[in-house]
Structure 1
Amino acid sequence: MKRIAAFLFASVMIQTIGAQSFIQTYQNRANMVTQTNITTNLQEFANLGVKTTGSPANANALNWLKNKYLSYGYAANQMVEDPFTYGSLSSKNLIITKTGTVYPNQYIIICGHFDTINGPGVNDNGSGTSIILEAARILKDVPTEYSIKFIHFSGEEQGLIGSYHYADNVAYQGNTRVLDIKLVLNLDQVGGKNSNVNNTVYCDQDLGGVTTNNPASAVITQELRNCTALYSPLQTAVDPAERSDYIPFEEKGEVITGFFERIESNYPHTSHDTFANTDPVYIYNIGKATVGALQHFAVATTTGSALGTNENKVNVLESVKIYPNPVKDIVSIELPDSNLKNFSFEITDFPGRSLLKTTNETKINVSHLEDGAYLGVLKTADQTVVRKILIKR
């Protein structure tokens, strides 16, 4: 998404939660978001190349998404491809449905686009894509009262082509409402701006268009802000919803909200929309907010005994400290377990080529590497953690 005019509609949120209550089970699931998974998803997304609508790379990205969901345990019959044409080209949206336990025919839609233009699109919109994948992974086996549709749209960069096709032909047929949509939560360009303090996220509110749905959008946008404060360290501000994949639904009268980065990157729609120019920790924190909010909106179970199997896979290495960052010459590793003796540490470039590898060392000399962004991969026998490492002299 590229904004023409955005403004700060409301001041940064002070932690006033109102009627919403903190739910420890929701926090436990939000804590299942990992920087490693976020970074790995961004890396794989970037390596797919320029995913212009209708291109082979775009089709490859669709298959990559499908394989991700299969790896999380979703069944093939939960995935539906929604084909559409754009001029002489064709592309597909991907829809994954998780059925609710109480209201199976009412849907929370969480969506974002996976097509890119002029570059790999790590921020716009690999960031939103990676968060949707992480939310789907964590909530796969978690009972929710409302059904959830995880939707990956193509054709956004050409004018919301894919989301208009879905809204006009699947969610609606003519003037007939086919899907009972509770709300649409859109994630677009939430990658942050490298070398900035990215501690605030915009929550998009419907301030125009079809006016009858504006009051409801104000309510759920406030709830989104509340969830962000409850389940992540981020602050929030309100921004007007515009020019992204929730708009076709807004024009049908549906209730919308979404996340967008507060400090807007200069790089979307260019070849410089790369991993080096994003803030993976910011994406991770928005991921935690998203998982918390999605549980709230879909009314996830709060019973500990009903937790999904994915919640048991806690990676203790996620609390590792790798510093300083940026680094000049020596990278230091502080392990979460001081008794951990057998581990390896590898530095790769973003495509995954190994540049340096050590074993059981907590001080690593990187003085021979050029300035730039790299991946640091720490491994034990059964766990892996990945971090972004900047070398800057």
Structure 2
Amino acid sequence: MNHYFTAILFTFLGSVFVLADDTRVPRRQPAIPTEINLATNGNTALGSDPLIQYLVNQTNLDSLTRHINILSGEDSVTINGSTYLILSRYAFHPHNDLAADYIFQILNSYGLPTYNQPYDSSGRNVYSVQMGTDYPEEIFIIGAHYDDKPAQPPAPGADDNASGVAMVLEAARILSQIPTPYTVIYALWDEEEIGPRGSAYYAQQAYFAGEDILGVLVLDVLGWDSNNDGLFEIHTRPIANSVELADLIYYLEDEYNLGLLPVIFNPGYASSDLPAFWSWGYTAVLNMQAGHSGDYNPFNHTSNDKISHFNLTYYYALSKLAVATISHLSFYNINIIVNLENEHNLLTADFVLKQNYPNPFNSTTTIEFNLPHPAYTSLKIYNTLGQDVSTLIAENLPAGNNICRWDAQELPGGIYFYRLETKGFTRVKKMLLIK
């Protein structure tokens, strides 16, 4: 049981925020473009941070699809002065190098220091570094693999994984315009389809170099939603702060009102580029479409993996979530921040019991509530038979916002109820444990 009763308050743009723990906040306020008020006018989710909302609003679908069309061979592109049509990004096809050159060219155009990282005769990672202003040694990574299948051209690989590459490039375009307290690395790895090789080399080199990587957001196969339900998966495991990062993504989707339905897999599948970072003890999560939840893209790894099969509304929302996540991390680390000067005000004269997040959840979830005054408080979990299966809190608590994490690893999947009770107030909410 982890519950935090001490909140840190600080002022940002005239608003008060609460952090879920005592991790450091930037020593100075970030420089925010003056047009932020126009950009967020009438378009800000309740409780959302105005800076993050501004950055999310910069996400451009035309920019995203332009990258996908070029990487998947729909459109030609000029690379180093010559015009090409990229027919394949398979590891051993010569056009995979063209894709890497294109990625390098785009990242470099944003004014970011950009690097090639060759690791064998065929493999090459490409990445850019945006140095943090306050904590330059502390790093967050947003990354995706750029190689694809099948081995024989054409191999467009629009969903797998031009979709993830385009999100990384779009995040770099947006965030490179503004200083960030933490260092951000935009990484595109090679040879995931025959490995993962590129990300494994990258993570190994980072580990032995002593790099302080605080979190990695891996993006893979993000364009397919055949039934338009908005479902997507966040894969995590109890390694470093991976579970907390997954919870943060779940929270941000709701906070910025993106219309998606996140499901957390814990323990998540050791797929894509996740194992490369988990094996060295790094915090890492994977955002992907609902392939393990019954909505797998049948065109992946075929010559018909094209953008024409995308659900672009779904893809655009996931792209905004990727921007929201890396933006939040680059300013606030893995902290949940709640705006206290709006309708979600938690320091009011009212009791508040919020819906747990994530929900549905796999093994762990977070319950948040507010007390208007100090009181003896009970927070218990019940199964559908009305049996008390866990007592999370039974003690005197101070007034204010309280956060409690419940670990249900030993319990079977199903519906559970959590009941908050204190003098003059009782509230019950439902949650779903998936196993």
5 Å-filtered alignment, 1:160-239, equals 160-168=196-204, 170-173=205-208, 178-193=210-225, 195-206=226-237, 213=239, 216-231=241-256, 232-239=258-265
Structure 1 stretches (4+) deviating beyond 4 angstroms? Answer: 17-21
Distance 2:269 2:60 in 1: 28
Output the amino acid matched with 1:280. Answer: L
TM-score, structure 1 normalization: 0.65
Higher relative contact order (CA 8 A, sep 6+): 1
Separation of aligned partners in 1, 2:92 and 2:323? 31
Percent sequence identity over aligned pairs? 26
1:31 aligns to 2:47 (yes or no) = no
Q: Distance in 2 between matches of 1:83 and 1:233?
A: 39
- Superposed CA deviations along residues 254-302 of structure 1, whole A, max 9, x for unmatched, are 1111201023211211112111222222221111111111111111699
Does the CA-based 8 Å contact 1:241-1:257 persist in structure 2?
no
- Structure 2: how far apart are the matches of 1:49 and 1:107? 34
Q: How many residues end up aligned between the 2 structures?
A: 269
My pick for the range that moved more, 237-246 or 29-38, is 237-246
- Residue in structure 1 matching 2:114, options 79, 82, 106: 79
Identify unmatched segments of 5+ residues in structure 1.
1-16, 208-212, 303-393
The alignment partner of 1:62 has SS state of helix
> SS of the residue aligned with 2:123?
strand
SS in 1 for 2:64: helix
> Which 5+ residue runs of structure 2 have no aligned equivalent?
1-17, 22-46, 74-85, 338-435
SS of the equivalent of 1:158 reads coil
- Is 2:200 the counterpart of 1:139? no
Q: CA deviation at 1:147?
A: 0.2
Structure 1 residues 300 and 34: alpha-carbon distance in aligned structure 2, compared to 1, 3 A threshold: farther
Query: Per the alignment, in what secondary structure is the counterpart of residue 245 of structure 2?
Result: helix
Query: What is residue 123 of structure 1 aligned with on the other side?
Result: 159
AA aligned to 1:229 is: D
| SS of 2:103 mapped into structure 1 | helix
1:41 matched to 2:67? The reply is yes
Contact 1:228 1:290 in 2 (8 A): no
* Equivalent residues of 1:202, 1:238 under 8 A apart: yes
Could you tell me how far 1:245 is from its partner in structure 2? 1.0
Shift of 1:189: 0.7
Quick one: distance in 2 between partners of 1:137 and 1:41? 12
Preserved CA contact (<8 Å) 1:107 1:149: yes
RMSD: 2.2
Contact 2:228/2:314 (<8 A) preserved: no
Query: Is the contact made by 1:229 and 1:235 (CA closer than 8 Å) also made in structure 2?
Result: no
Shift of 1:217: 1.4
1: CA distance, partners of 2:261 / 2:285: 16
1:368-392 CA deviation, whole Å, 9 max, x = no partner? xxxxxxxxxxxxxxxxxxxxxxxxx
CA distance in 2, matches of 1:69, 1:162: 18
Structure 1: distance between partners of 2:70 and 2:199? 24
Q: Which residue matches 1:62?
A: 100
After the TM superposition, which residues 99-110 of structure 1 pair with which residues of structure 2 at under 5 Å, given as runs? 99-110=131-142
Q: What does residue 52 of structure 1 align with?
A: 90
> In terms of mean alpha carbon deviation, does 92-101 or 30-39 score higher?
30-39
Q: Distance in 2 between matches of 1:145 and 1:258?
A: 24
**How far does residue 199 in structure 1 lie from its aligned partner after superposition?**
1.0
Kept in 2, the 8 Å contact 1:131–1:283? The answer is no
- Of 80, 98, 112, the residue aligned with 2:144 is 112
Cα deviation, residue 67, structure 1: 1.5
Q: Point out the structure with the larger helix share.
A: 1
The residue type paired with residue 101 of structure 1 is T
Looking at structure 1, the residues matched to 65 and 227 of structure 2 have their Cα atoms a distance apart, in angstroms, of 18
Are the counterparts in 1 of residues 104 and 127 from structure 2 also a CA contact under 8 Å?
A: no
Structure 1 residue 242 and structure 2 residue 273: aligned? no
Please identify the structure whose Cα radius of gyration is greater: 2
| Paired letter, 1:110 | I
